Chain A
């Protein structure tokens, strides 16, 4: 059981680490100071959640690996994040939408986790669910304003939906490890969260005058370690310091 829980925790931790790393790329480059801080806050929320999950994964694995070992010293194919979180920041519309899609999935995920068997995960969920709720609110308000805004903002918002919506199906896919953990009531069944996700996304899209596109070719593969080209670039930056100075600590 421990090896399946470990594998499922890594999927969850990698989602948060990679998205946190992505959003942190905006630090110092935000469109206005206020939004620069808002995005840095969200990135730190993601990385904080990843830390808790990696630490717990290291305990469960019992091979003495620390959160840093797990975050910085694995190979690309061993990262099990979904493809959505590794998509490039592109513009502000893409960044807000990617965060919105992910938070709309994580809020019901953490709500369900808070009612399951594992005390450590319940603790992490209690804190994370509030952060996810705020990410939905913050990104949702921007999506409404951009989608129902100027010609340029509406076009950018619609382009973001077209580019990113094909990656949302993977959020609800179950891996073997996730299935085993759901059967043991340790983690939620991702496939069952689609209704809650849609209930968050649809009203915001309606107010933003955005259409949900039909997805002809849904993209997935991250849960089995098959990543896009962008992943290597993220890891090069993410892992550089630990690779160059092994064992370095703050």
Chain B
């Protein structure tokens, strides 16, 4: 009999991140992850798992291992300095009435 550890396991399938562009939205948004052996099956699994209630207009999948992420331990040096640079927000300008809604 074949030992269990020679059989393929779900945990050994690559992890994929799923991005959906909602019907009313402009950009794809991350909505979750799933396991699949390749891009074609990952796309189908994304469709079946995350667009069952009419959420989607378009789907992207990307292997989780292909995403480069910022280091949580460096969050302070990455992001805190921006918090006190309020002058970077364009809220100090008077906009002429003739411009209308911007």
Contacts and interface: CB of A to CB of B under 8 A. Distances in A.
**Bound pair (A, B):** yes
Interface of A: 31-35, 37-38, 41, 137-138, 141-142, 145, 150
A141 B44 contact: yes
Given A32-B35, A37-B48, A145-B41, 8 more contacts: A31-B10, A32-B10, A33-B34, A33-B49, A34-B34, A34-B48, A38-B45, A38-B48
B41 A141 contact: yes
A38 B10 contact: no
Nearest to B51: A41
A138 B44 contact: yes
Interface string B18-48: 0000000000000000111100110011001
B85 interface: no
B89 interface: no
Contacts of B10: 31-32
A137 B49 contact: no
Nearest to A144: B40
A38 B36 CA distance: 13
Contacts of A138: 44, 48
A145 B13 CA distance: 14
29 contacts: A31-B10, A32-B10, A32-B13, A32-B35, A33-B49, A34-B34, A34-B35, A34-B36, A34-B45, A34-B48, A34-B49, A35-B45, A37-B45, A37-B48, A37-B49, A37-B52, A38-B44, A38-B45, A38-B48, A41-B48, A41-B52, A137-B44, A138-B44, A141-B40, A141-B41, A141-B44, A142-B41, A145-B41, A150-B8
